[in-house]
Amino acid sequence: MALTMALPLCNNAQPRLFSSLHRRQTPFGAHKKQLHFATINELRFSSSRPKFNLRRILLSPPKSSSINGYSVQSSPEFLKDSGEAEVDRFERVKRWIDFVRSILPGGKWWNSDDEVETRILAEPVTVSRALLRMWELVAEERWIIFASFSALIVAALSEISIPHFLTASIFAAQSREIAVFHRNVRLLILFCITSGICSGIRGCFFGFANALLVKRMRETLYSTLLRQDISFFDSETVGDLTSRLGADCQQVSRVIGSDLNLIFRNVLQGTGSLIYLIILSWQLGLCTLLICSALAAVMLLYGRYQKKAARLIQEFTASANEVSQETFSLMRTVRVYGTEDEELGRYNQWLGKLVDIGLKKSVAYGFWNLSFNFLYHSTQVPVLQNVSISLHPNEVVAIVGLSGSGKSTVVSLLLRLYEPTGGQILIDGFSLKELDVMWWRERVGFVGQEPKLFRMDISSNIKYGCTRNVRQEDVEWAAKQAYAHDFISALPNGYKTLVDDDLLSGGQKQRIAIARAILRDPTVLILDEATSALDAESEHNVKGVLRAVRSDVATKRTVIVIAHRLSTIQAADRIVVMDGGKIVEIGSHRELLHKDGLYARLTKRQVDAVA
């Protein structure tokens, strides 16, 4: 495969190699240089990591993420100024002092309700009602609960009796009462064996009840969710519902599997021990009762705050799941725009809050007791063979063909989403593999088939992935270029409107995605099936975007359009027709129609389908 591409570069700007020590931010300029893409006859994808290269790792640009298997290190700590280090140390000490003060009674940590997004929540369920509901879920196997509590009672009574007979055995041995000693030892062994057996039965039955409760609870919750009104799903996120169905059900089930088990065991043992102590000495028993009452009051007091912490953990876990699920579903967009660090920051934000809450709980307790497999690689099927494409500045090139012909493969290689196992792609004499992938992607704008927007306001979606400082005027300019400004301005909150799955139509989302790509001011703009899911009006607007991009001669921008709808790409400067991983035709719309080849047949087929 040979791929030739001409892009405008500045006179003094060179592509930043992967091994470069400095991150060059010089934009593309005005004059042309011939960029040659050359590969061997076959091109296959490989999901395997490149060979380990220590020199590349050490010479990687600072503050970059790990891309395509290459590890990149952050700026070394020894570059920091000593004065800044002293300030950082002082700030860390100050934060720890503030933290310790916050966890004391009346500290600001206990007023942490404002950390969670305000939501319309149901009324809190009382403990008795929750236990009754869980009892109903395991109603068909109530014998398991009865057997569990029976074993618990027997084990608790046996454990209470062990100290008594152990003491009696010691006294009998001291007084040389052999018969009494032998009797007490036999009873002591009997109670130890009984306690061990009943404790095992208790744990087994409680664990079985716990698993059964999780199953019934998830079945009931899932059934209830499936029968909710559609409006319910408009206000709830997928990550939140998934968290409720998974982690929350597991947490509630621990009430039977662990909490009730320990509570009843401790209550029985404590009550029995207190009664036995009062029989031995009422003065000592009374002192013990007062101490236990004081501890119970402390537990009730801080139990309220632990309840708040548990609710925060559930909310933060749901938010973290939502971010990760959103990022994975939009991974192609994240990779193309080079925002891995930003997405990691969003995820770390919620993880940090989870760690913070967990740390606070731990301190309070102490105080108060991608393997990825690519199909083509595994099957060793050649994806592209003998492909040669020439791309020039300020040119619109369309790539068309049947499904599976290799159109999107060319785009994936240009974006370095995958690496070829054979051959190479040269850009202005430099191998694409040796260019810093982040530097290269900053100069490429990409709009995929399905509009991918994040759950943030429209302005943030348009600015997503921009490394330079962007003003609101720039955002509005990009939206106007994408024919999106009018409908955005008509929304109640304008550019601050939060993007929701059902708020915007497919065409509106697509134009926002195009505005996001235009705002980057890319040298290469790639539209991969950007109009396949649009209606006639939205497709007309996207065509207007292409005309506007093409007429912007000053940018010297190259546009690559991949489309099934041939009406979208008729105005392209050149049309590349692919079939079976090969290029079969190249020319303008009129030239290809005169050839009466595959393009002419595809055009006739679509015209007949419309007629």
Q: Which residue has the higher pLDDT, 25 or 139?
A: 139
Between residues 15 and 331, the one the model is more confident about? 331
pLDDT band at 77 (very low <50, low <70, confident <90, very high): very low
Cβ 512 vs Cβ 453: under 8 Å: yes
pLDDT surpasses 70 at 25? no
Residue 569 banded pLDDT, cuts 50, 70, 90:
confident
d(CA 247, CA 324): 15
pTM: 0.48
* DSSP E strands, 489-541: 524-528
CB burial string 135-168: b at 16+ within 10 A, e below: eebbeebeebbebbbebbebbbbbbbbeeebeeb
**Is residue 158 situated within a structural domain?**
yes
Domain containing 90 equals: 82-111
Going by pLDDT thresholds of 50, 70 and 90, the confidence category of residue 303 is low
pLDDT value at residue 295: 75
Q: Which two tokens stand for residue 596?
A: 């009466």
Q: Is the pLDDT of residue 512 over 80?
A: yes
Q: Which of the two residues, 46 and 569, has the higher pLDDT score?
A: 569
pLDDT value at residue 518:
83
pLDDT exceeds cutoff 70 at 577: yes
Q: If you average pLDDT over residues 545-550, what whole number do you get? A: 64
- Residue 63 pLDDT: 40
Which range (233-247, 338-352, 585-599) has the least confidence?
233-247
Is 59 inside a domain boundary?
Answer: no
Q: Of 162-166, 202-206, 417-421, 525-529, which gets the smallest average pLDDT?
A: 417-421
Per-residue pLDDT for 594 more than 50?
Answer: yes
Indicate whether 497 belongs to any domain.
no
pLDDT on residue 426: 64
Q: Which residue has the higher pLDDT, 4 or 587?
A: 587
439 has pLDDT over 50? yes
Confidence of residue 239 (pLDDT cuts 50, 70, 90): low
Rounded mean pLDDT of 584-607?
A: 83
Mean pLDDT, residues 251-271 taken together = 72
Same domain for 170 and 97, yes or no, is no
pLDDT of residue 457: 87
User: Are 107 and 184 in the same domain?
Assistant: no
Tell me the per-residue pLDDT of 356-392, one tens digit each, with 9 for 90 and over: 666 555 544 444 332 233 334 444 555 666 666 667 7
177 and 98 inside one domain: no
Higher pLDDT, 476 or 230: 476
Q: Is residue 30 part of a domain?
A: no
Q: Tell whether the model's pLDDT for residue 53 goes beyond 60.
A: no
What does the pLDDT average to over 181-197? 86
Which of residues 324 and 62 earns the better pLDDT score?
Answer: 324
The predicted structure's pLDDT at residue 556: 65
Question: Could you tell me which residues come within 8 angstroms of residue 1 by beta carbon, excluding any fewer than 6 positions away?
Answer: 39, 40, 41, 42, 43, 384, 385, 386, 387, 388, 423
Q: Is residue 267 predicted with pLDDT exceeding 70? A: yes
What is the rounded radius of gyration, in angstroms, for the C-alpha atoms of the chain? 34
**Mean pLDDT lowest for which of 68-77, 171-180, 301-310, 583-592?**
68-77
Last residue of a domain, one of 344, 368, 392: 368
232 and 105 share one domain: no
Q: Is residue 239 part of a domain?
A: yes
Query: Is 33 within 8 Å of 7 (Cβ atoms)?
Result: yes
pLDDT number for residue 563? 75
Q: Work out the average pLDDT over 177-201.
A: 85
Same domain (yes/no): 215, 320: yes
Position 548 confidence tier, pLDDT thresholds 50, 70, 90? low
Question: What secondary structure, in 3-state letters, does 313-336 show?
Answer: HHHHHHHHHHHHHHHHHCHHHHHH
What pLDDT is recorded for position 104?
53
In a domain, 152, yes or no: yes
Burial letters for 275-293: b for 16+ Cβ neighbours within 10 Å, e otherwise?
eebeeeeeeebeebeeeee
> Nearest Cα to 354, choosing from 309, 306, 303?
309
Given a cut of 80, is residue 187 above it in pLDDT? yes
Task: Give 250's contacts (C-beta < 8 A, 6+ positions apart).
Answer: 214
Among candidate residues 368, 397, 413, the one where a domain is terminated:
368
Which residues on adjacent β-strands are paired with residue 431?
426
Average pLDDT, the chain: 69
Q: CB within 8 A of 453, min separation 6: which ones?
A: 461, 499, 504, 509, 512, 513
Answer with the one of 317, 342, 368 that is the final residue of a domain. 368
Task: Answer yes or no: do 132 and 107 share one domain.
Answer: no
Q: Which amino acid is at 401?
A: G
Average pLDDT value for residue range 151-165: 83
Model pLDDT, residue 37: 39
pLDDT band of residue 47 (cuts 50, 70, 90) is very low
- Residue 169 DSSP class: H
What is residue 175's predicted lDDT score, i.e. its pLDDT? 78
Q: Quick one: pLDDT band at residue 92, thresholds 50, 70, 90?
A: confident
Are 100 and 132 found together in one domain? no
HSE value, Cβ hemisphere, 13 Å, CA-based, for 255: 15
Closest C-alpha among 331, 361, 341, 362 to residue 467: 341
Residues 224, 310 share a domain: yes
Where do we find the tokens 């290689």?
Answer: 413
pLDDT of residue 370: 28
**Are residues 206 and 262 located together in one domain of the fold?**
yes
CA distance 91 to 253: 42
Region of residue 49 (left: phi > 0; alpha: psi -120 to 50; beta: else): beta
Residue 329's pLDDT is 73
Do 97 and 139 lie in one domain? The reply is no
Mean pLDDT of 130-134: 72
Q: What is the mean pLDDT of residues 118-124?
A: 45
pLDDT at residue 501 in the model: 61
CATH no. for residue 330?
Answer: 1.20.1560.10
Residue 427, SS3? Answer: strand
Better-predicted residue by pLDDT, 143 or 529: 143
Q: How confident is the model at residue 230 (pLDDT cuts 50, 70, 90)?
A: low
Better-predicted residue by pLDDT, 295 or 517: 517
Number of domains in the chain: 2
pLDDT of residue 86: 61
Helix (H) or strand (E) holding 580: none
Q: Taking 80 as the threshold, does the pLDDT of residue 584 lie above it?
A: yes
- Does the residue 173 lie in any domain? yes
Query: Residue 415 pLDDT more than 60?
Result: yes
| Lowest-pLDDT range of 235-249, 339-353, 577-591 | 235-249
Decide if pLDDT at 554 tops 80.
no
Same domain, 189 and 312: yes
Length of the chain: 611
Proportion of the chain above pLDDT 70, given as a percent: 59
Same domain, 89 and 164: no
The SS3 assignment for 149 reads: helix
The mean pLDDT of 41-52, rounded to a whole number, is 38
Helix (H, G, I), strand (E, B) or coil at 495: helix
| Domain-located, residue 539 | no
> With contact defined as beta carbons under 8 Å apart, do 169 and 183 qualify?
no
pLDDT at 113 over 80: no
- Give the pLDDT score at 581: 77
| Rounded (10°) CA dihedral 95, 98, 104, 107 | -120
Taking 3-state DSSP, the helix, strand and coil percentages for the chain, each rounded to the nearest 5, stand at 60, 10, 30
